[in-house]
Structure 1
Amino acid sequence: MKTISKLSLFLAIIASLLVSCEDSASDQNGEVSGETGKTKYVVTVTTGASGVADYLLTADDVSTGSITTAGNGLEQDGTYRYYLTTQNKFFSFLYGQGNPGAVTTYGLTTAGQLTKTSNFQSETVQVFAPVNKDIVMVKVPRSGASISYMYKVDAEKSLLTGTVQHDTRLLVGNKNPDFAERAHFTWATQVGDKVMMPYMKIAGASPDTFGSRHADSTWVAVYSYPELKLEKVIKDNRTSYLGAYFTNGLFQDENGDAYGFSGAIGTLNGVLTSTKPSAIVKIKKGTTEFDQSYFFNVEQASGGHKISSTSYISKGKFLLLMYGNAGTNTGAVKLAVADVYNKTFKWVTGMPATLTNATTRYNITSEDGNSGILGVNTPDGNWIYSINGTTAVATRGMKVEGGTITAIQKLKY
């Protein structure tokens, strides 16, 4: 591991990030809001049209009514946007597809209006997660260079505060610069005072850069914080890697335990190489090892389906996006609720017969903590749905017109 010097960090800020923060926007009272108890929902929508950016729509209530992009909302700069809400701020990350990206910050005025408060150019990152009052962003190499850059951003000030680099080849035991295989972080999660980063081992070269020769094991790199120093790697052989590209697969619950979700969908040259079941594993609070007494075989419980993406509701209830064709990440989209405490599995009822997709990576928990609220897109229209974590019953809410729902978040004002 190398930690960039103060001079290098200064140059990185100037040359790589080209920080150009805007002054905080203000309402008629001259202030950007703090938390005063009221909730504003932020719904992101993409039209899918070439050259047309994503829209940010806001609503006081998403349980009823309708909303549209026509003459409404904030239009963002550029497509391929990904989102995170932390410290009562809404962050929009532009994926530059090999080019520099951007991080745009939004907040609510005291009148409840969504307004841009900061915007800076950055490297395109594939991982971004809240840690304490910061955001950890990670640029993950997939081929060519092997160095992964980890950036720390003060979430309250939208300001870069540090950069650390790691060689991803070392996480696969590879010190040969001519050997392409490397680790690829799927996401990052704060667990206690550590940052845990699950990863998959990928080929790292054509013809199948993301192909895996090691799809039957689970790895998590454990880093100290704020130093982001690698402390250890923990491994399990009962399922496959956690999460997937751009997909979180590790969550901490209210008790401080962490649960990992594996789709077991690793392939090499288009052929499924994962032979282990799609499953859930556990890391007990205060430990940095997998709990060998815990294993939830979701593939068996679901009748052969595999986990695609996951989000946490509360009290051990997780919302799962799954696909209908066993053994692949294709087929009919299906939603389910898994109770990791009791190892129970329920298919969601009350949904449309055919789903195009659902925003399980970017959704929220209801105010009472009992339900997950997400966007659901279908051939017949797009709606916000609430899914009860206990009964797994879905209730249809607001209709969203003018584009496909990509995320739903909430802020306080």
Structure 2
Amino acid sequence: MDSQPDLRFLVTPAAAGVGLRGRLRVPGDKSISHRAIMLAAIATGETRIEGFLEGADALATLRAFRRLGVAITGPDAGLVLVQGVGLSGLRAPDGPLDMGNSGTSMRLLAGLLAGQSFATTLIGDESLSRRPMRRVTEPLALMGARIETNAAGTAPLHILPTAGLQGIEYRMPVASAQVKSSLLLAGLCAAGETCVTEPAPTRDHTERMLTALGYPVRRTGPRVCLTGAGSGGGQLTGGRIAVPADLSSAAFFLVGASIAAGSDLTLTGVGINPTRLGVIDILRAMGADIAVLDERLAGAEPVADLRVRAAPLKGIRIPVEQVPLAIDEFPAIFIAAACATGETVLTGAEELRVKESDRIAVMAAGLSTLGIEAEPRPDGIRIVGGSLGSGTVAAHGDHRIAMSFAIAGLRASGPIEIRDCANVETSFPGFARLAGSVGLGIEELGG
């Protein structure tokens, strides 16, 4: 889905002392929704998925598997029923599979389809077609995969049939859950054992879901391994998958309630996977008042209710080990830094340069427009907290940029207009309505 520049958000400052108040549940976790469709499709028997994110990115994955011959019912209020066809039951699609704006869909599907007996082409929108794919195609080639990209190593990806994949031992140069998951999915169809060693912890939703559906996965420290199904590694069996509320979507409200005086907000049923807690740890280090309540399990994933109240924030030097644990939440964290006392410095986050936009450059430009000192650096940013002004900023079709500057409106001196917001629907359908229900003064214009 290409972004539509005529969809804009207009945000007006909160009344003094009002803030964000109440209880809400943000949409289902995008990362888990993707994986639920993929693994249910290659399992045997029916899988019932509850809490599925009905956003454009996850729906792109769902549509792709329908075209690969998988019967899928729904989504209906988050409920999806998938009739799994097994690892060898996928069928050649009748044309290219369009992944829209979803890098997760493209990178994970590259691994899963690399071992199939038919050719597939994966395409995406203008933004996705600029994003780097060699990080998955090169290690997949070591397994015997045949994947052609354009000269820049970007989409479209032409995945060609191969005589068979071979498991490998791969040490990732950069921490990436998408690369790890792509290789593990390819490993299901490979001969022998596939092992991936991470330089730093990344989200482990794929491993958890494989285990929950009956496929053995072995982890020793930073190394995770599985044996291919054809080598006796096991099989996936359909079951029930409960998708928790997305911590990445909750992050905007964790920041918003922290910076807006008078806030007392509870976010219910949020996934608190240990590999995703960077945003909570970073905000707490800045002084945020976030309580984790009623911890429990939703299938294979831990969840909890998060209560956040307004608190004075201070700038910090963000620990580099927290970077992979909060990589998707940094645009929101940058808003917290803009409202904090003192200086916040982020390093070791080059990955932000190759997301849906260059999130370092785009956030720095927007913050500067609003009167905040923001110095972009090759691998991070330096932000000096101050008073947010009003003005017009560009989201560049990046959903997380758009929602972050919407939350900034809680502390601005006047209205903030955010342009190019259509892609918010990729991860958070109904964001403006839900944010407005707890006190954000937000209006959608155009679109």
Query: Relative to total residues, which structure has the larger helix share, 1 or 2?
Result: 2
Query: Relative to total residues, which structure has the larger strand share, 1 or 2?
Result: 1
Higher relative contact order (CA 8 A, sep 6+): 2
Per the shorter chain, which TM-score range?
Answer: under 0.3
**TM-score, with length taken from structure 1:** 0.26
**TM-score, with length taken from structure 2:** 0.24
